[in-house]
Structure 1
C-alpha cells in the first residue's frame, strides 16, 4: 500500500512540506531573453519534521539538499508546493508577516568564512538580528550578545573582534550564535561541519545537540557525511537528483537500506580497520549523475542502478511505506537484497556501530 511521507494529522509536526518544487529557469540572450530549459533542483518533496526532532538529509553534491533547506525558509520562493510551519503556509505570506515568522525559523550556513561579514565585528553580527526584530534595546542588546557567545562556548570579550581573527570552528560557533539570537524554534543546519576538521566537527555536533536539549530546537541537518548524520539524526532522508528516494529512522536505514542508492552510499563509507575494509563489498555505481536540466524518465536513478528493470525506465516509483515509517521509492525495494546480501547488511550494521563509537571517542577527546 502506498502511504505518503507527508502526515498532516499529527499535532506534533512542526514542519510540513508537501509537493515542494524548486525549478530554476535557464535563459538565453542578453536584451531579449528566452527560456530554453528548466533546472529541476527540487522536484516534488513531501515530508514532516516533528517538534524536537532532527531530520538528516543526505545525498551527493548537487542533489538539491541545500536548495531544499533554503526553499523551506523562503530564501528561495518555491515554484510549487506548501511549507507549513505550525500550520502556517510560509509560501503564502509576504512582507511583515514573513519577517515575523523568520524569527522562528533560522539557518546555519555551510561556509563559516563566507557567511560572516568581514567588515562587522562579532558583536555587530550577532546583534544585528536582535536590533532588526527589536528584541532588545540599549544595554540589553550587549548583554544578550555576551550571553549568546557564552552559550556557544566563546569568550564574551570576543564581541569586539572581527571574523578574520577566529578559526573555522570558532566562526561556525559565531554563526550558530547569530542563528539563535532571535530565539528560533526550527533551524536548518546546511552542512555546518563540512568545512571543518574531524575534531572540530565533533565539537560543533556536540554543541548542536546540547543546544537542542537546552532550548528545545528542531533541526533539519543537511550533510553528505553519513557518519555525522547517523550520530545526530533521529530520522534520515536520502535525496537523489531532486527527489527523496528513502526515509527511515537512522538505525533502520543503516542496518537495512532498501534503495540501491542508499546501499551504494553506505558501502562507500570507509571503516578505520584494514581487515574489515578488505572484506567489505563495495557497490560502485556506473556512469555520471544525470543533469537536473534533463532528468531521465521513470526512476531518476535507473541509469546507474545495477538492478534496474524496464519498468524503472518507464514509470516513476511511488514513495511506499515498507513498515514502521521506512519509506522507499523503488520498484525493486523488496528484492534489493540481491544487491546487498545478508553479509553486506551485517557489515552495514557493524559500520553503524563503529561510526557511533568513533564519533563518541572524538567527542570525548574534544570535551
Structure 2
C-alpha cells in the first residue's frame, strides 16, 4: 500500500506539471478525476504539504460533497478506514490553516463520526481555528465524559479518554473562562494520569483569572473538589482581592461543613489551611476575614492551621483583627487563672498570639498582655508577654 501511494505521488507530480492554471484549480481537477481512495488520499497528502490557504475552498468542497454527504453510507471495514483517514487529513489541514469559516463543517464531523480518533482531530481542529461558536459545545462534550461512571469495556474508556484529551486541548486554545470548569473536573476525573496531568497543566494557562469559575465549585462542590479549587486559587494570577474573596468563601465552607469521617475532617482542615495562606499572601485587611480566622484559631483541629490563622490576623492589622486576638488570649487567661489545664499545643498558640500582638505595635493589646503576667502561666509565656509589652511601649 505504501509503495503504491509513493508511486502515485510521482504520477500525480507528473500530471501536475502538465496542467496550466493555479495550484488550487489543478489539485481540484486531480482530486475530482480520482476514483480510487488510494489516489484521493495521495492527492490530499500533496495538498496538505502545500499548507496554502488558497486550498480552503477545495477542502471545504471535499468535506461537504465527498465526506459529509456520505457519512451514513455503509462501507466495509477497509473502506471505512480509508474514508476516516482521508477525513482526518482534510479536518486537520483546515485546523492548521485556521479556517474559522469551515468550523460548521468540521463540527458536523465531530458530532456525527463514530470514530474516536477522527472525533479528536475534529475537536482539536475547532480549537486551532479558535471557533468560539463551538466553545460551549466542546465544553459540554468534555463535561459529559467527566461525569461518565467508570464502567464499560476498556476500549470504550480508552476512546473516551482520547476524546477528553482532545477537548482539553481545544479548550486551552480558546483561552476562555467558559471552558475552565470542564477542564477543572477533568483534572480530578476518572481518567488515567496522562489526561489528568494534561488538564492540570491547562488550568494554569487557560485563563489568568479563573475565580469566577472557582467560587461556585468552592461553594457547591464535594469536599475534594473544594480542596482542589482553593489550591487553584492559590496558584492562579488573579488580582489579590479576587483571590481573597475566594479564600473567604473557602474558609466559610471549611468551618460550616461537618466531617462525617476522618478523611473528610482532614480535607476540611486542608481547605481552611490553604484558604488562610491565600488570605495571608493576599495581605487582605477585610474585617470579614477576622471572624473566619478567629474561628479557625478557636476551633481548628490542626496546630499549623491555628498558627497560620494567628499570623494572618496579625498581618491584617486592623482594629478588628487585634480585638479578635485579644479576645482569644483573654479566654486563655481566664482558663489559666481558673486552674484549667493548658495543653502544650495551647501554650504554643498562646505564645504565637503574644508575639503577634507585640509585632502589630497596636497598644490595644497592652491590657491583655499585662494580664498574662498575672494569670498563672509558665515563666516562658510570662517572659514573652513582657517582651511584647516592651515592644508596644
Q: TM-score, normalised by structure 2?
A: 0.27
Higher fraction of helix: 2
Report which of the two structures shows the higher radius of gyration computed on alpha carbons: 2
Larger RCO, structure (CA 8 Å, separation 6 or more): 1
Q: TM-score, normalised by structure 1?
A: 0.28
Higher fraction of strand: 1
